[in-house]
Each structure stands twice: as structure tokens, then as C-alpha cells.
Structure 1
Amino acid sequence: MPHLNYHHLRYFWIIASEGSMSRAARRLNVSPSSLSVQVKTLEEQLGQKLFERTGRTLQLTEAGRIALDYAGSVFKSGHELIETLSGLRPGRQLLRVGAAANLSRNFQIAFLKPLIGRGDVELIIRTGQFAELLEQLDAHKLDLVLANHPAAPDTRSNFENTLIDEQRVSLVSRKPSKPARLRFPHDLATTPVILPGRGSALRSAFDALVGSSGIRPVIAAEVDDMAMLRLMARESGAMTLVPSIVVIDELRSGVLVERARLSALKEQFFAVSQQRRYPNPLVAELTGSRGKKTG
């Protein structure tokens, strides 16, 4: 079986990317004639002509376009290998986790707790926008992404969504000076409420629930970040719609009280991974017995 010369393939890939033999030669710091010889050797090995010259420009042949796609995959894989192994230390396992910026910190700590403090594990946790984190996952810069909604189906990226937990959702506030039963949703027409930002799954479900009753709530604030939502609940005095896990410490200590439990609403927490030939075993360790795969 003939072996492919990857130096020749790289030269071809750079020439095709630059669109010019001379520009590629300058980039590689070699002579154009030397490059031409390397490409000719590659063409002979593949049994196909890869370029056609039109005037002073190079055009890829059909075989050249196919070869360019394969070359891109080969060198992308090489880059991913470097990215994956660059932070690995002998005798230790590395797990790189991305967390959506609006995700509960309490959930993150509870999910990662089995690995925190382990001498054989190094954790890297990055926070960002969900779409950006998925791009890093696809580029093998992350092993796992945590979010409160699943990744959309993508046949190219092969994302896998694991539902890790579902948490109850409540309206909470500081303890009122005059205890009174909250009539949900009717009292929201006159009682200011702090809500998660529009576009979140929780906010959409809340709007649908309240809207079906014909109630227009008095909105005191809309907050995307769960950590800020927690602070607003503690400091504002207004009622706040929040997953209970976000304010679990405040509920236990009595700083906040549950005014209404909304059994029709649930906050879901997902771990998004990717089908890989050699998956990080720590991903399976965290998700294997704690969640279920979803579409």
C-alpha cells in the first residue's frame, strides 16, 4: 500500500489556500520551482492532476478540490491533537468544561463535585456564550459544555445532549413583614416581579403560563445571568422567578422564602458532549450514571 507524503500534501494545501505558487513559496520560504516539483510528485503519486493553469492563475481540478477537502481534514485533526494534548501533564487527567454564562453556579459545583480536589484530575472551566462554547467543543478545545438547554441537532458536529437534572422553579422573596398567601398568577398584575431574560426556555415557559391566564405581570427587572438574578432576589425585595437550586443557600438560611412553587415549570440542565473516536473518560464518569441522552 503506497504511503502519502504529508509534506507534499501540506505544500499543495498551502498553494491552494494562497491561490498562487509565488505567494505560497514566500509563505513557506522556498523557491516556486521547488514547490512545483513537490506538487508534481504528489500528482504522480495520486495519479491525478490537481491544478490547471489559466493565464497566470492556478485553478483546482475536480481531483484537486477533493484533495483539498481531505487535506483540510488532515491538518485540522493535527491542530486538534496539539490543542488536546497541550495542557496534559504526566499522570493526570485533564477535563476542559465550558459553562454557559447564564448557568447556575450552584448546579455547576454540584455537577463537578466528584472531580473537585482529586489529585489525578485537572479541571479547566471556561464561561461564555453557548454558541461560542459549542464552537470550542467542535474544535476539540473543550470536552464538555454545561447549559440550561440542549444543542440543536447538527449532523456535522455530532453533538450529544445529556439531561443531567430538572429543578423546580419558584417565586421567592425576602420574608414579607405581613405574611400573606400569594395568589398566583393573579397577584402578579400588581406585584413587581424579577424575571429571567427573554429568550431563555424558563422565561418562555413562564410567559406562556401567565399569558394563558390573561395576566400581564408588573416586571421590575429582566436578568440573563443567574448569579445576578440571585443577588437581585436577595437585595431588591421584589419577588423573583428562579430555579430553587440557584437560591438554595438563601432558602435554607431564611434570607429568602418560597412564595409560590410553580409545578408546571422546570429548569433543565444539560451536559453537551460530542461523539469522538477517543472520548475523554471523565465525561462518561460525570454523565454516565447521572443523566439520560436526549435528541
Structure 2
Amino acid sequence: MGLTEAGRIALRYADQIFQLGEQMAESLGDEQLDYTLRLSVGIADALPKTVSFHMIEPILGMQRPVRLVCHEGRFEALCSELVQHSVDVVLAERPGGQGTAHLQVAKLLTYPVRIFASPDLKQKYEANFPQSLQHAPFLMPSRNNVLRLKLEHWLESVGVEVTVVGEFDDLALLETFGRAGLGLFAVPAMLIEDVVRDHTVVHMGDAQGVVEDFFAFTHPRNLNHPALKLLFNVNPNTNPNRSD
């Protein structure tokens, strides 16, 4: 059974009161009020798990302990929760979208994109890379993933048309199919150690000029939260008045 409208309003006020209490504790510096910070994090379902960890890693070193409450969901739904103050921050692989016009956004990480393949596929397609990828089997992110569009533009720029043999919402599932040798695939460079760990796939080449950016979103009123102050202020790309 869901909350009534009155219940949702009460919950929002309770969250605001909780945050005001944290601000008071910080301002007063009273040891008796020095308690663990709570941070509710919405993680877009297209975001690789390892990347999401590195995005929030800076706040894990704060002097005050932080209790994270993390859950995954569709980006649009998470942004709606952010506007309703059901979550404090949303992490995603895209710079914006519907419902983000009045949100604060910061680009936290940027990584080049690399192509991986099973040893057999690498041997077959590595000569004269990337032109050798013509009609090669390729595992792609789904069309609602920003990386998909970037990969398609890159392939077009080098005059190559691959054979898409699979499309995936979940990057981990895409990698599983890649390890089985069903096609080449692309991931951010930061994940290279995870991808090649079991030696079933190898680095084949780079998608030159293609990078994947990762962003954090919050409501401007949430920036009084000590953890979000750190997360957004450590990056000079913070834009307080971003529009779609």
C-alpha cells in the first residue's frame, strides 16, 4: 500500500527536518550532536557498479561517518524522486534529460572507451584496426544509453559498419556475453582490470576520441548536506543553473 498525498508531504518535511538537524550539528560543533550522516543515493541502472563506487568514493573519507542508502532505478524515475526529496543525489552516465532543468549537476569522472574481444575474435579482426571491424559481431549498449550513440558516431567516422548481435541495458550482462566470445564490446577504460581479470577477453584497441562521462545530480537545496558539499565542490565543472 502506497503513501497518501498527505503522507508523502509529511515524509518530505521529515527529510527536511533531518537535514536541518545535521546542519545545526555542523554549525554548533557540539560533540553531543556529532552523529553519522545519512546520504540517500539513486544510481541509474545503466551505470557500471564499479564506476558508481568511484563516483562517491570522495565522501567515504570524510571525518564524519556516512551511512549510504543506495538503490538503482531508471534515470528519469530517480530524478523525479530527487525533485520530491526522496533521494539526496542521483548518479548517472548522462549529462541531463527530462526533469533535470532545475537540478544541480557536476561531471565527476571521464574515461576513454576501449574495445575488447575474446582471443579468437581479436586474432580475426585486429589487423588494420579499426577498419578491420567491418561486419564484425558487436555487442552494444541499448539505445537509451549515451555510449551507444557515441559508438555509432565513432564507427561512422571511421567508415565501419559492424553487425550488432546483441543489445543490453546491463553492462555486466553485456560483458558476460562478450566473455563467451559472442562479439566485441566497448567499456570505459577504468574497468579494464575487471574486464580482463579472468583472461577470457583481451584489449583490442581504443575508440579514438570517444569518452564516457559520469555525472551527479542533486536539488540545489540539498547542497547544505556536508557530503554533497564535498562531492559537488571538489569538481570545477559544477553548474548551478543547468538546463536540458
Normalising by structure 1, report the TM-score: 0.65
Match of 1:225 among 170, 189, 195: 170
Q: What is the match of residue 164 of structure 1?
A: 108
Q: What is the match of residue 112 of structure 1?
A: 56
Identity score, percent: 23
Match of 1:286 among 218, 223, 231: 231
C-alpha distance after superposition, 1:61-104 (max 9, x if no partner): xxxxxxxxxxx9xx986541214557999711100000000101
C-alpha distance after superposition, 1:222-250 (max 9, x if no partner): 11212212222223352112222234323
Residue 152 of structure 1 deviates from its aligned partner by 3.6
Question: Mind listing any 5+ residue stretches in structure 2 that lack a counterpart?
Answer: 23-32
Please state whether the residue corresponding to 2:195 is helix, strand or coil: helix
Matched, 1:273 2:205: no
Where do residues 46-195 of structure 1 align in structure 2 (5 Å cutoff)?
79-84=11-16, 91-116=35-60, 120-152=65-97, 158-176=102-120, 179=123, 181-195=126-140
AA aligned to 2:49 is: R
Contact kept, 8 Å, 1:164 with 1:291, in 2: the verdict is: no
Residue 259 of structure 1 deviates from its aligned partner by 0.6
Contact kept, 8 Å, 1:230 with 1:246, in 2: the verdict is: no
**CA pair 120-100 structure 1, distance change in 2 beyond 3 A:** same
Please state whether the residue corresponding to 1:292 is helix, strand or coil: coil
Normalising by structure 2, report the TM-score: 0.77
Where do residues 16-31 of structure 1 align in structure 2 (5 Å cutoff)?
none
Please state whether the residue corresponding to 2:221 is helix, strand or coil: coil
AA aligned to 1:186 is: Q
Residue 219 of structure 1 deviates from its aligned partner by 1.1
Larger RCO, structures 1/2 (Cα 8 Å, 6+ apart)? 2
**CA pair 203-153 structure 1, distance change in 2 beyond 3 A:** closer
Question: Mind listing any 5+ residue stretches in structure 1 that lack a counterpart?
Answer: 1-71
Q: What is the match of residue 241 of structure 1?
A: 186
Residue 212 of structure 1 deviates from its aligned partner by 3.8
Residue 292 of structure 1 deviates from its aligned partner by 1.5
**CA pair 289-116 structure 1, distance change in 2 beyond 3 A:** closer
- In structure 2, how many angstroms separate the alpha carbons of the residues matched to 1:197 and 1:277? 32
Contact kept, 8 Å, 1:192 with 1:218, in 2: the verdict is: yes
Residue 158 of structure 1 deviates from its aligned partner by 2.1
C-alpha distance after superposition, 1:17-64 (max 9, x if no partner): xxxxxxxxxxxxxxxxxxxxxxxxxxxxxxxxxxxxxxxxxxxxxxxx
Contact kept, 8 Å, 1:166 with 1:266, in 2: the verdict is: yes
